[in-house]
Amino acid sequence: MSVQDQLQATVEALVQGGKGILAADESSPTIAKRFAAINVESTEENRRGYRSLVLETPDLGKFINGVILFEETLGQTGRDGVALPEIAERQGIVPGIKVDQGKVALANAPGDEITRGLDGLEQRLDGYIAQGARFAKWRCVYHIDHHTPGRLAIAQNANVLASYAAICQSKGVVPIVEPEVLIDGDHTIERCADVAQEVLHSVFHALHQHRVMLEAMLLKPSMVTPGNAHAGKATPEQVADWTLKVFQRVVPAAVPGINFLSGGQTPVEATENLNAINCMTTRPWNLSFSYGRALQEPALKTWQGLAGNTAAAQAALYHRAKMNGLATLGAYTPDMESDAME
């Protein structure tokens, strides 16, 4: 199979209607925080047990078509000794991998950050591919404040995202490009829209310069929302209106799919907002989700690190996946939250 055919097959698998991507790529410090909240020690065995629980959730592939894994997870096995990426594949879920190596302060740009990890990326991808990964993810973050994000941060992060995407495609790996405009702050939804538009414009300019095939990538952006410390809360309809207004201005129709991150929204908020977006006017992209905490939080709280809670935790994860699957079709209603988990 040619590189182009590999890319096309993976993209088609990741933009199936009614499904989305599970972000299970928490770094070691992040999953330690998640476990600490439920009084579970972040040992390798506990992490393996939890990730096995997630990927072995019965029928998860009905609503999840891809899973982003952390590097450690690619080499781990489930309870029966089968590699976790293979367990995902058996469910019809495409395994992917987070390839960035975290963010650091951007020199001469107070308050701004840049993501690192380009050095050695080609070689690391060879190893990830051998372990079953078919797509990758790279996250850059943008802080909204009085003076951030600055032009330097917007330009440099766009260039990093485009470089990563080009390297991935050269290896037959579909890149997920994630420019996250952070929800932290007291900014208005209008200010968020301005920043999101500038960020996305810069990202796609850089992607064009690096000759990235837009048809063979996915975009993982933030929704346009007010800051989490802003006095006024936006309705799902307002979030949908502002989000689509910005995206229709700057995201090319050639991009096959937009998988929104939840970015600090509660599980139900993320579902309601996604549903409202999919109830809006027609658009050229498949609009779906790539949620981490908004999918997993109920399952983690139910699990509590206890083997006896496995089935209930899996039911909680399945329920959230189902709700978001319906939201990708604009078919979710809040009263479904009280329905029995099936």
Q: Active-site positions? A: 178, 220
Judge residue 118's burial from the number of C-beta atoms within 10 Å of its C-beta, 0-12 exposed, 13-18 middle, 19 or more buried. Answer: middle
CB 290 within 8 A of CB 64: no
CB 277 within 8 A of CB 242: no
C-alpha separations of 23 from 33, 122, 137, 214, 222 in Å: 16, 22, 10, 22, 14
Token pair, residue 24, equals 């299970």
CB 132 within 8 A of CB 86: yes
Q: Around Cβ 204, how many Cβ atoms within 10 Å? A: 22
Q: Where are the beta strands (DSSP E) in the chain?
A: 20-24, 64-69, 94-98, 103-105, 113-115, 135-142, 174-181, 218-219, 257-260, 286-291
CA–CA gap between residue 337 and residue 320 (Å, rounded): 9
CA–CA gap between residue 251 and residue 258 (Å, rounded): 9
Say whether the peptide bond before residue 149 is cis (omega within 30 degrees of 0): yes
CA–CA gap between residue 276 and residue 18 (Å, rounded): 15
Tell me whether strands 113-115 and 103-105 are parallel, antiparallel or unpaired. antiparallel
